[in-house]
A and B are shown apart, each in its own frame.
Chain A
């Protein structure tokens, strides 16, 4: 392959979008870290200057990657993966505590976060495993190894390095699994778990007006019972049994209410009994009819039940206090504009004050005066909102949208599974980062510290995202050769 064919095979649209985002990000980092006596965009003593350096280094590394044949990754994927697992394991031993996380290591004067690169390396390993010609994603068992492949680094990062945000990013591979045949039920099921979690935490503290128990449990269990009844009625077309299921539930609650006149009844327990009874009845009907796929519903409801029971326990025991507070503030359980809610509150003020056209470059008062913490890293989107207004921030989101849609297009045009799988991993990672980061800054999602790709200040993330993209571009440029 000649150099010429690489250049001509590159997807220049993606590169242009990358440059636009990176340079706009760089300007905003200058804006966010701008103090009134600051001089130059290129001054290496400030963050904008450093970011410019990072962009430069990332580009050099990215261009270097473009010259490495795509086959190389395929061959070395497991090796690199294994090596990086070791690096991830070693990181906390070398790292110093940065805001509770043990994920940063010093290399000379620079700080580096191995977790950032782990996404790409995992994506490569997943691509290799799943592109094997005898691999087909048909059953649950087929997902086992890929899930292990991503759960290993994610687990290390979450538990060993205590960096929840970076670990959660591994959930983005679900999008790739979905594209390659994973049931949509897994995604919706996953989402329903999130909703159940929110429901049980949000209303877990709200006592029922009668008896013992709380609204959270009642709501969650009623939803699960509705799912059981719904499957019986709509999927099995069996309204008689659906009515019987309803009857069981209603009878149990009615009994509870009547007994409650004399004795205080624990309605959490009634809910549990009602759900279990409904589930047993449902399962027996299914088994009798030998509609075995519907046993998945039983499994799902049973898992949800366990999940709900575990939620409170996990929330109280497993989560770090600061994570707990963040979730509580987001769910409106705590109102604390100076504490945990401070970031988001200030972020909303900064964005809102930008109004339609923004205050203009370097004219934002909220970001300049450091009301928003992390304003040049995780909360960089605030600066866009304040200084460039609705036009600038909505514009940036649309650029990201076009960028991700372009990546989907690239993914779809790959002719070999290895490139396609990798490309969808990349799509997932960018989509996940954009959603979580902007969702957090806009106060829609809990505060999870992950960067906005190519935009937030930071060498590790800049280089990792660039390499992630560069590998994709190289694979994409080779797609025509694959036919030969």
Chain B
């Protein structure tokens, strides 16, 4: 065509087309290469990271008896988005045996973003949790009718024996604090709340896995992403093998029935705890599942304080059981010799008088056998005063500190470190400054603190510490920090030496053996088991005395060390010694032959004044 006045226009049109395409390409460049947020949104859209819960590690006793296992439990979940396509609420409620009000209440709870931070209409939300197989049976049959409804399997703890609740602890839903502290947890997860479940939470829980699944625009699951290449498998929790002997534990708890008190049994050579019972207690099964919170509150509000683990948290004056350790220390630090005798009456023994009737003066084994208060007061006094009082009472205070250090070498006065027992009290071995503060540096002498000589006064120890003291005596001078997980046994860090002469321990053991043959424990002795023991009756300003017993057996190469405390029971020889004796028999022979003692102990009910 000639003479086209508009011959430039094709180029303008072509330019316009090119410009539009250029704008589009710039836009694409922005969207696909510069702006990274779209990719993230796409993954959020299409990929659902579904948590795969690992099964929690199992717990066994020292003989391989399964104590704690997992039992399946079911959750009913709802995907709100899918419920829009018709949802028969009435039939659904019938299946779950709830009414429509309850249904509405639960839906509201799910939708409440403050309480349910992970709310999304596209993901399964827990509608009802912790249902048994029976409870979901009818829903399972008809679940295809309810679009959006799903059933998810979780596990709860199950217990083979109704014992050892304090030790084992329990598993419960994590708190917001847990979630904030450890990013492993998400709302609705379970974790160990107390006891071993808490101590060993990290190993028992295993590692959660992730299943990456694709869902479509309606939230319907479309299969796994990249054929599961990005999935992470759940790692099952590691099992726990305890040193506990569940038979011994059962016997201990049975005998503590109706009483307030505790029992700790330790294998001396290894520090392994064979039994650790606190009474009152509860069946661990009640803290599982839906009933957990109500039952927990009931225990929490019980005036008898069952949640309080008396074996490790309660402290008592050790009373006469302390004399065993006093013997060793006084011999070691040179207050007395093995042949020292003290009269148990007369001017030297004042102000502490003997409560028993025995010949006087007594020698060392005799003093232990007869639990002779004046003897131990004199020994304590002579040990502290050996080098006089010195300038400004300094020498005496130095001796006191030496004594205190020795006592603490038996594991008293401090919490055990490196063990797996969570809740412990440190007990009290009074420090010098306590007396300095009260009496002034020069104001206190041996006579001021005379009560310490017989395990009274400011002294306080937990039953666990008492059992460990017994184990130290049994070992003739060392102890392995008491623990429950057998893997800890070989830990060299846990071995503690008293650095005292084994001869003094042998002498003490001899005295403790005589307690069982001739002394306060003689009614509960079994000769063949070579039992050694020491009873104690701890004065209690709030009520009747606490009955205490520590001991071990056999005398040579001991296999078990025991401490028993029965609160407000009176004499240690009456209430604590028989329990310890039966435990030693059970552990060493595998049976209890003295059924009458067993029956008496099981049936005896001793009321607790603090609950009145």
Instruction: Find out whether the CB atom of A397 lies under 8 angstroms from the CB atom of B25.
Output: yes
User: B27-44: which have CB < 8 Å to A?
Assistant: 27-29, 31-33, 35, 37-39, 41-43
Shortest Cβ distance from residue B37 to the other chain A in the assembled complex, whole angstroms: 7
Residues of chain B from 1 to 44 with CB closer than 8 A to chain A in the complex: 1, 5-6, 9-10, 13-14, 16-18, 20-21, 23-25, 27-29, 31-33, 35, 37-39, 41-43
Whether A351 contacts B38 by the Cβ 8 Å rule is yes
A residues 385-426 touching B (CB-CB < 8 Å) = 385-386, 389-390, 393-394, 397-398, 400-401, 404-405, 408, 411-412, 415, 417, 420
Select one of B1, B18, B28, B38 contacting A394, CB under 8 A.
B28
Nearest Cβ distance between residue A94 and chain B, in whole angstroms?
A: 33
A350 at the interface (CB under 8 A from B): yes
Q: Which residue of chain A is the closest to B11 with respect to CB atoms?
A: A408
Give the A-binding residues of B (Cβ under 8 A): 1, 5-6, 9-10, 13-14, 16-18, 20-21, 23-25, 27-29, 31-33, 35, 37-39, 41-43, 45-47, 214-218, 222-223, 225
Closest-by-CB residue of B relative to A137 is B6
Q: A365-B214, A405-B14 are in contact. Are A352 and B35 (CB under 8 A)?
A: yes
Among residues of B, the one whose C-beta sits closest to the C-beta of A444 is B27
Contacts A/B (CB < 8 Å), 13 sampled? A349-B42, A352-B31, A352-B37, A352-B38, A356-B32, A356-B33, A365-B42, A369-B214, A371-B46, A394-B25, A397-B21, A408-B14, A431-B20
Q: Which residue from A179, A346, A349, A431 sits with its C-beta under 8 Å from B17?
A: A431
In the complex, the answer to whether A354 meets B24 with C-beta atoms within 8 Å is no
Interchain nearest-CB distance for A189 vs B (Å):
16
* Known contacts A180-B6, A351-B38; A370 and B17 CB within 8 A of each other: no
A447 vs B79: C-alpha distance in the bound complex, in angstroms? 31
* Cβ contact within 8 Å between A369 and B216: yes
Binds B, one of A69-77, A115-123, A195-203, A433-441: A433-441
Contacts A348-B38, A390-B28, A393-B28 given; indicate if A365 touches B45 (C-beta within 8 A): yes
Closest 10 CB pairs of A and B: A352-B38, A353-B42, A365-B46, A369-B216, A390-B32, A401-B21, A352-B31, A371-B217, A349-B41, A353-B39
With the chains together, A295 CA to B393 CA distance in Å?
121
Q: Which residues of A contact B27 (CB under 8 A)?
A: 442, 444
Q: In the bound complex, do residue B10 and residue A36 qualify as a contact, i.e. CB atoms below 8 Å apart?
A: no
B residues near A91, Cβ cutoff 8 Å: none
Q: How far is the CA of A378 from the CA of B484 in the complex (A)?
A: 69
Q: How far is the CA of A181 from the CA of B222 in the complex (A)?
A: 57
Tell me if A427 is interfacial: C-beta within 8 Å of chain B. yes
Other than the given A365-B225, A370-B216, 8 more pairs (CB < 8 A) read A36-B222, A346-B45, A351-B38, A369-B216, A370-B218, A371-B45, A405-B18, A431-B17
Q: Which of A180, A386, A401, A439 has the most CB of B within 10 A?
A: A401
Contact A404 B223 (CB under 8 A): no
Contacts of B37 in A (CB 8 A): 352
**B347 CB to nearest chain A CB (Å):** 97
- Pick from B13, B33, B39, B223: contact of A427, CB under 8 Å: B13
B5 CB contacts on chain A under 8 angstroms: 181
- CB–CB A408/B10 < 8 A: yes
For residue A349, which residues in chain B have a CB less than 8 angstroms away from its CB?
Answer: 38, 41-42, 45
- Interface presence of A355 (CB below 8 A): yes
Q: Which residue of B lies closest to A389 (CB)?
A: B32
- Does residue A112 face the partner (Cβ distance < 8 Å to B)? no
Q: Is the CB of A385 within 8 A of B1?
A: no
Q: Is the CB of A442 within 8 A of B32?
A: no
Complexed CA–CA distance, A175 and B6 (Å): 13
Say yes or no for A366: interface residue by CB 8 A criterion: yes
Q: Roughly how many angstroms separate A417 CA and B2 CA in the complex, as a whole number?
A: 12
A253 at the binding interface (Cβ < 8 Å): no
> Is A385 a contact of B28 with CB atoms below 8 Å?
yes
Which of the listed residues B9, B10, B17, B43 has the most CB atoms from chain A within 10 Å of its own CB?
B17
When distances are taken between beta carbons in the complex, the residues of chain A under 8 Å from B32 are 351-352, 354-356, 385, 389-390, 393
Of B6, B20, B23, B215, the residue contacting A369 (CB under 8 A) is B215
Does A178 belong to the interface (CB within 8 Å)? yes
Given A371-B216, A404-B17, is A366 in contact with B46 using a C-beta cutoff of 8 Å?
yes
CA distance A25 to B38 in the complex (A): 24
Chain B residue contacts of A389, Cβ below 8 A: 32
A contact residues around B214 at 8 Å (CB): 365, 368-369
CA distance A81 to B126 in the complex (A): 64
Closest B residue to A366 by beta carbon equals B42
Minimum distance in angstroms from B43 CB to a CB of chain A: 8
The CA-CA distance from A348 to B33 in the complex, in Å, is 13
Which of B9, B24, B223 has the most A CB atoms < 10 Å from its CB? Answer: B24
- Closest Cβ–Cβ distance, residue A375 to chain B (whole Å): 10
Residues of B within 8 A of A439 (CB): 20, 24
Q: How far is the CA of A400 from the CA of B23 in the complex (A)?
A: 14
**Is the beta-carbon distance between B222 and A351 smaller than 8 angstroms?**
no
**Contact string, A172-201, partner B, CB cutoff 8 A, digits 1/0?**
000100111100000000000000000000
The residue in chain B whose Cβ has the minimal distance to the Cβ of A357 is B32
A415 to B13, CA, bound (A): 19
Q: Is the CB of A175 within 8 A of B21?
A: no
Question: Is the CB–CB distance between B41 and A415 below 8 Å?
Answer: no
Residues on A with beta carbons closer than 8 Å to the beta carbon of B223: 36
A271 → B minimal CB distance (Å): 33
Can you name the residue of chain B whose Cβ is closest to the Cβ of A371? Answer: B217
**Pair B24/A397 contact, Cβ less than 8 Å:** yes
What is the bound-complex CA distance between A404 and B19, given in angstroms? 13
A306 and B10 alpha carbons, distance in the complex (Å)? 33
Chain B residues with CB below 8 A from A346, complex form: 45, 217
Chain A 364-385 against B: per-residue CB contact (8 Å), 1 yes, 0 no?
A: 0110111100000000000001
Please, which residue of chain A has its CB at the minimum distance from the CB of B23?
Answer: A444
Q: Min CB distance, B477 to chain A, in Å? A: 70
CB distance from A201 to the nearest CB of B (A): 22
Nearest A residue to B226 by beta-carbon distance? Answer: A363
Smallest CB separation, A329 vs chain B (Å): 17
Smallest CB separation, B46 vs chain A (Å): 4
The reply to whether A438 and B24 form a contact with Cβ atoms under 8 Å apart is yes
* In the complex, residue of chain A having the shortest beta-carbon distance to the beta carbon of B47: A365
Q: Is the CB of A179 within 8 A of B24?
A: no
Given contacts A351-B28, A444-B27, contact A369 B217 (CB under 8 A): yes
Q: With A385-B28, A397-B21, A435-B20 known to touch, is A179 a contact of B6 (CB < 8 Å)?
A: yes
How long is the Cα–Cα vector from A401 to B25 in the complex, in angstroms?
11
Q: In the complex, what distance in Å separates the CA atom of A2 from the CA atom of B59?
A: 93
Query: How far, in angstroms, from A159 to B33 measured CA to CA in the complex?
Result: 42
Instruction: State in angstroms the CA–CA spacing of A94 and B190 once bound together.
Output: 64
Chain A residue numbers with a CB within 8 Å of B222 are 36, 368-369
Q: How far is the CB of B239 from chain A (nearest CB, A)?
A: 40
Bound CA–CA A402/B241 (angstroms):
75
For A398, the chain B residues whose CB sits under 8 A away are: 21, 25
Could you tell me if B13 and A352 are in contact, using CB atoms closer than 8 angstroms? no
B10-A412 in contact (CB<8A)? yes
Contacts of A36 in B (CB 8 A): 222-223
Minimum CB–CB distance for B418 against chain A, Å = 51
Contacts of A368 in B (CB 8 A): 214, 216, 222
Residues of B within 8 A of A431 (CB): 16-17, 20
Residues in chain B near residue A401, CB distance under 8 A: 17-18, 21
A369 touches B28 (CB 8 A): no
Instruction: Bits for A53-90, please: 1 = Cβ < 8 Å to B, else 0.
Output: 00000000000000000000000000000000000000
